[in-house]
Each structure stands twice: as structure tokens, then as C-alpha cells.
């Protein structure tokens, strides 16, 4: 029932309802713009699932080209599941629980799935604080595709959820999350929306996995993946209690499952059942997520995949990841051999930040990167030069941040610098956070311009430095002036406090960047004459 290979259960726009192979063919033709039922936090998992599935199927079929025909995709997907004449591994419901169903491993004798699931979102990996962030179990009339997206989200992205609820192999520990960092083609500048198209991105990533398979097997030879014949669809294998799959028995692009789940027919549609397990499905806890995930950055010395935690993909994190020396980039975050040097790409970053049984929020960022820059990121000396420029920009941001912080704290102290205390700085946090977000918006465009300016000489580089400082001064000055009247201060001291705070802010900025005030000084000198 609900056979993904033969029934049009998945909605795409444009195109309407499609089978899974029909959807993959449409992606290969770049005919799809969106998946209307896909929730934002499910998007990264869905993309990664489709890319890995395609790479597994095409490798097994010994195909070098990505098919654009639904029939070819149907044949390739069935090639991953020989011996299942009724397509059980591709069906949402299989009455015999001793057989696999889509992303649902067989249930062995003696194992009970005792927890019922009335809605697809109650199956999803999202953990909400007091059920406030996103309401749970509200999709009472969920369609089959809602269950598909929830299954993919859970089985390929979930962490530890308490006793018996294990996490996936492709993350660093149960309280981590699976972060996705991948380059993606951007549409022409004439396009209405400057974000990656699902099909072009899918086609690009699948092509990279097919091309780089042998090189990645060599890179991860210490994990002893099978060159051929390894298990890719982990839901096919029997899952007896305490039994684990071993990395050496898997394909390098294997698709995770982590929970015992089965779907069944209910009175009003699909329902689910969930059970526990004593051990993780894959014996990989000791690897800390460093299992050859093509979407994952891995720390070079600690050999663990990226954990975003409660942070964002801001300029600090991305500078550290992409430009620093501590992290090995993911395979798919590096330019492919077939990508032109003048082609503008986007670095797509996404993760559902998790803590201990809590969600820190869905984090995502799309960062446009010119082809020349993307290739510089793979070259040691040029990457180091970019990192040094990024550090210089961070120091500039720090200058403005400290100027704002000190000046506003001075206002809170009534204009008396000798009375500034730690609690006075607490009043500055919101305006400084807003400034940091403004700086984040400016950071990379100016960094790329600064990198290009190096080739034009020292004067051009200095001009870009000042251009960045001027761009920072605009939000810093605006936010400082907006925050100053709101700072608590005794009325009798307020005129003095605000005057001294303004002098302190502008004086510190002037000390670092006197050029920002030259025009004003010339104007004042002209008025004086």
C-alpha cells in the first residue's frame, strides 16, 4: 500500500503529484521549483536523502549519467531492492511487519512497538520547548507525503531522545545534529528568486558523488567501506534486539535509520507505531559522526563532525569553518571539476540545532560565492589570505562593538567613567546584538571585494578597508543614537551622560578610523571661515 515507485504520492510545484522515480526524473530535468508540503526544517534532510539515494541507485546500476526518464529511475531504484517483487521497501504500509517498508526496518519476533503515532508531525524529529515553538501532533489530516517527509526527517536526522530512543550515525553524539554544508548552483542574475533550484542542486550533488566515489573510498579506507555490494538502504536489514550494523558492511553513501517505526492503516488514514532499541542501529558512536558524510565538516584534530549547538551560521562560524585550518570541508562544499571558474555558486548551510532533549532552532544560510572565490577556498595560500582578511574584518567589527558598549555603559553610569560597573554593560547587549547582525549581513560581500582588491595593490586594499569601516559605522551610529535615550540614568545626570557617551563613542571610532570624519571636519572648517 502507498507504493512510492508506482503511486503519485509526492506533490511538486510545478508538476503536481508524482511518484518517487518521477520526482527524481523531474529534478534531473530541473523542472521542480518547490515541494509545497515540505516544512522548512525538513528541507535539508530531504535533499540529502534524495542525493544519497540517487548516488546509491546509479552506482548499483553502473550508470554514469543522471537519468531524466521516470522509467529509468524506477529500474534503478528497484535495483537496490532485488527480491522484493511487491516493492515492499518502497511502500509506506506493509502488513507483514517481518518485511521492510519504506524507511521502516522489519520488526523481529519478541519486539513490540507500543507507542502509537496519530499524526506525521508527532513522528518528526522536532523537539519543542513546552510545545510552544511548533505545535506537536496537529496534522490530523496528514497526507501520505507528510508521513514520507516525517520519516526522512526522523530516520536520517534524529539524535538521542532518552532511554531506548537512539540517534543516527552521521552526527557527533546524541545531543548533536546533522549539519549540511554544500555548494549549489545559482540561477542567472535575471531570475526572480536568487536561491538554488532544487533540480540543479540535486543534479550537481549527485554528479559529484558519482565522480568522487573512488576518491572518497580511498580517503576513508580506514573505515573499510565495501567498494561494491555494501548495504545502502539500512532499513532492508533485520534488526534484532541489541544487534548493530557494522560500518564495514555498509556503502559509503548509506542512508541512516535510527528508530523502530511502522506505519499502518487507521480509520482516517495512516497511523504510526514506534518502539525502542537498546543500542544504536549502526555501531558508529566511537566515530563521532566522522563517517564520510559528503555534507559534513569534520574537525581535523578531534576527528568529529560539526555540532552547531545553539549558534548560527554567522560570520564567525563560517570564517572558522570555511577559511580556517581546523576543519576539513565536506566533499560537497568544494567546487566540482565540471564547474566553471566564473560560475557563481552558493554555500548552503543548514542544521536543526539540538541540545539535550531540546531544540535550539532551525538554522540556515545561503551564502553566494563567486567561482574564483570558491576555488581559492581549496588552495592553501589563497585560503590563508582570505582567513587573514576575515580576521581583520572581525577586528574592525570589534572596534565598533567595544566603542558602542563602552559609550552606552558610560551613559548608564551617569557619565562618570570611574563608576562603570559590569551591570552597566548589561544595558548595551541588545543594541550590540543588533549591530552584530548588521555586520554579519555586510561581512562576506566586503570580504570577497577585499580579496579581489589585493591584486590591484595596497591602495585598493586600503580603500576596501575604509569602505567596510564606513559600512559598519552607519548601523553602529544609528543603533547607538537609538539606544542612548533608553539607557537608565538619573535625570539630573542625563545631559552630561549623553554628551560624554557621544564623545566617547565617536572618539574611539575616530581613533581607529580618522578618515571617516575627514569630510565632517572639512565642512566644519569651511563653516568657521
Helix (H), strand (E), coil (C) string for 456-520: HCHHHHHHHHHHHHHHHHHHHHHHHHHHHHHCCCCHHHHHHHHHHHHHHHHHHHHHHCHHHHHHH
**How far, CA to CA in Å, does 48 sit from each of 52, 263, 357, 389?**
6, 23, 24, 33
Three cell numbers, residue 254 = 548509506
Q: Residue 501's CB: how many other CB atoms inside 10 A?
A: 25
**Contact (Cβ atoms closer than 8 angstroms) between residue 234 and residue 282:** yes
Outline where 370-428 has alpha helix (H).
Answer: 371-376, 380-412, 422-426
How far is Cα of residue 427 from the mean position of the Cα atoms in its chain?
32
Return the pLDDT at 367: 95
Q: Which of 230, 91, 241 is nearest to 164 (CA)?
A: 241
How far is Cα of residue 223 from the mean position of the Cα atoms in its chain?
25
**How far, CA to CA in Å, does 199 sit from each of 33, 38, 81, 89?**
8, 15, 25, 25
DSSP letter at 39 equals -
Return the pLDDT at 126: 65
Residue 460: CB partners within 8 Å, gap ≥ 6? 453, 454
Return the pLDDT at 132: 36
Q: Which segments within 327-357 are labelled E, that is strand?
A: 327-328, 345-355
CA gap 146, 246 in Å, rounded: 31
Its pTM stands at 0.94
> If you search the block for the grid coordinates 555494501, which residue do you land on?
230
Q: Residue 422's CB: how many other CB atoms inside 10 A?
A: 7
**How far, CA to CA in Å, does 91 sit from each of 56, 105, 240, 351, 437?**
19, 12, 22, 28, 46
**Contact (Cβ atoms closer than 8 angstroms) between residue 512 and residue 399:** yes
Burial class (CB in 10 A: 0-12, 13-18, 19+), 142: buried
CA gap 216, 84 in Å, rounded: 30
Three cell numbers, residue 104 = 521502516
Three cell numbers, residue 475 = 548601523
Segment-wise mean pLDDT, segments of 10 residues, the chain, 529 residues: 98 98 99 97 98 99 97 99 98 98 96 93 69 46 92 94 91 88 88 84 98 98 97 98 96 98 94 95 97 98 93 96 95 94 91 73 92 80 92 99 98 96 97 98 97 93 97 98 96 95 98 87 53
**Contact (Cβ atoms closer than 8 angstroms) between residue 195 and residue 346:** yes
Burial class (CB in 10 A: 0-12, 13-18, 19+), 458: exposed
265's enclosing H/E stretch is strand 260-266
Amino acid at each position: 500500500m502507498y507504493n512510492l515507485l508506482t503511486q503519485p504520492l509526492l506533490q511538486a510545484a510545478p508538476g503536481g503529484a508524482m511518484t518517487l522515480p518521477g520526482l527524481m526524473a523531474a529534478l534531473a530535468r530541473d523542472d521542480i521549483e518547490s515541494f509545497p508540503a515540505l516544512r522548512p526544517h525538513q528541507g535539508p534532510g530531504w535533499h540529502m536523502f534524495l542525493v544519497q539515494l540517487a548516488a546509491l541507485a546509479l552506482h548499483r546500476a553502473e550508470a554514469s549519467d543522471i537519468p531524466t526518464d521516470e522509467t529509468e529511475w524506477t529500474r534503478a531504484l528497484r535495483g537496490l531492492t532485488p527480491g522484493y517483487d511487491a516493492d515492499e521497501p518502497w511502500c509506506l504500509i506493509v502488513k507483514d511487519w517481518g518485511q521492510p517498508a519504506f524507511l521502516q526496518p522489519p520488526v523481529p519476533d519478541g519486539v513490540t512497538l507500543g507507542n502509537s503515532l496519530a499524526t506525521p508531525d508527532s513522528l518528526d524529529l522536532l523537539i519543542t520547548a513546552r510545545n510552544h515553538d511548533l505545535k506537536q501532533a496537529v496534522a490530523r489530516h496528514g497526507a501520505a507525503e507528510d508521513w514520507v517527509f516525517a520519516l526522512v526527517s526522523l530516520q536520517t536526522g534524529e539524535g538521542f531522545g532518552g532511554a531506548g530512543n537512539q540517534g543516527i550515525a552521521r552526527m557527533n553524539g546524541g545531543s548533536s545534529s546533522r549539519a549540511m554544508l554544500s555548494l549549489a548552483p545559482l540561477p542567472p542574475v535575471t531570475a526572480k528568486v536568487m536561491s538554488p533550484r532544487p533540480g540543479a542542486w540535486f543534479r550537481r550533488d549527485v554528479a559529484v558523488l558519482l565522480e568522487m566515489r573512488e576518491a572518497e573510498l580511498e580517503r576513508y579506507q580506514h573505515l573499510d567501506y565495501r567498494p561494491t555490494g555494501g548495504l545502502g538502504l539500512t532499513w532492508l536489514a533485520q534488526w534484532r534486539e541489541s544487534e548493530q550494523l557494522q560500518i564495514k558492511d555498509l556503502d559509503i553513501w548509506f542512508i541512516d535509520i535510527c528508530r523502530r517505526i511502522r506505519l499502518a492503516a487507521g480509520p482516517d488514514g495512516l497511523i504510526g507505531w514506534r518502539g525502542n532499541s537498546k543500542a544504536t542501529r549502526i555501531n558508529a558512536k566511537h566515530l563521532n559522526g566522522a563517517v564520510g558524510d559528503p555534507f559534513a565538516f569534520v574537525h581535523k584534530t578531534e576527528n568529529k563532525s560539526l555540532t552547531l549547538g545553539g549558534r548560527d551560521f554567522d560570520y564567525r562560524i563560517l570564517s572558522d569553518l570555511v577559511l580556517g585550518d581546523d576543519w576539513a570541508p565536506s566533499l560537497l562544499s568544494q567546487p566540482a571539476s565540471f564547474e566553471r571558474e566564473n560560475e557563481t555558486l552558493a554555500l548552503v548551510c543548514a542544521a536543526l540545532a539540538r541540545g539535550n532533549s531540546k531544540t535550539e532552532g532551525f538554522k540556515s544560510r545561503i551564502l553566494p560565492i563567486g567561482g574564483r572565490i570558491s576555488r581559492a577556498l581549496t588552495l592553501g595560500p589563497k585560503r590563508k589570505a582570505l582567513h587573514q582578511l576575515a580576521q581583520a574584518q572581525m577586528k574592525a567589527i570589534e572596534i565598533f562593538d567595544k566603542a558602542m558598549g563602552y559609550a552606552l555603559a558610560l551613559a548608564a553610569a551617569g557619565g562618570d567613567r570611574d563608576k562603570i560597573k559590569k551591570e552597566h554593560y548589561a544595558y548595551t547587549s541588545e543594541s550590540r546584538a543588533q549591530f552584530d547582525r548588521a555586520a554579519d549581513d555586510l561581512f562576506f560581500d566586503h570580504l570577497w571585494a577585499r580579496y579581489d582588491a589585493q591584486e590591484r595593490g595596497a591602495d585598493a586594499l586600503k580603500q576596501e578597508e575604509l569602505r567596510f569601516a564606513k559600512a559598519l559605522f552607519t548601523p553602529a551610529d544609528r543603533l547607538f543614537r537609538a539606544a542612548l535615550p533608553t539607557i537608565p540614568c538619573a535625570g539630573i545626570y542625563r545631559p552630561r551622560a549623553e554628551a560624554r557617551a557621544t564623545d566617547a563613542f565617536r572618539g574611539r571610532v575616530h581613533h581607529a578610523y580618522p578618515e571617516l570624519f575627514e569630510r565632517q571636519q572639512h565642512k566644519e572648517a569651511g563653516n568657521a571661515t
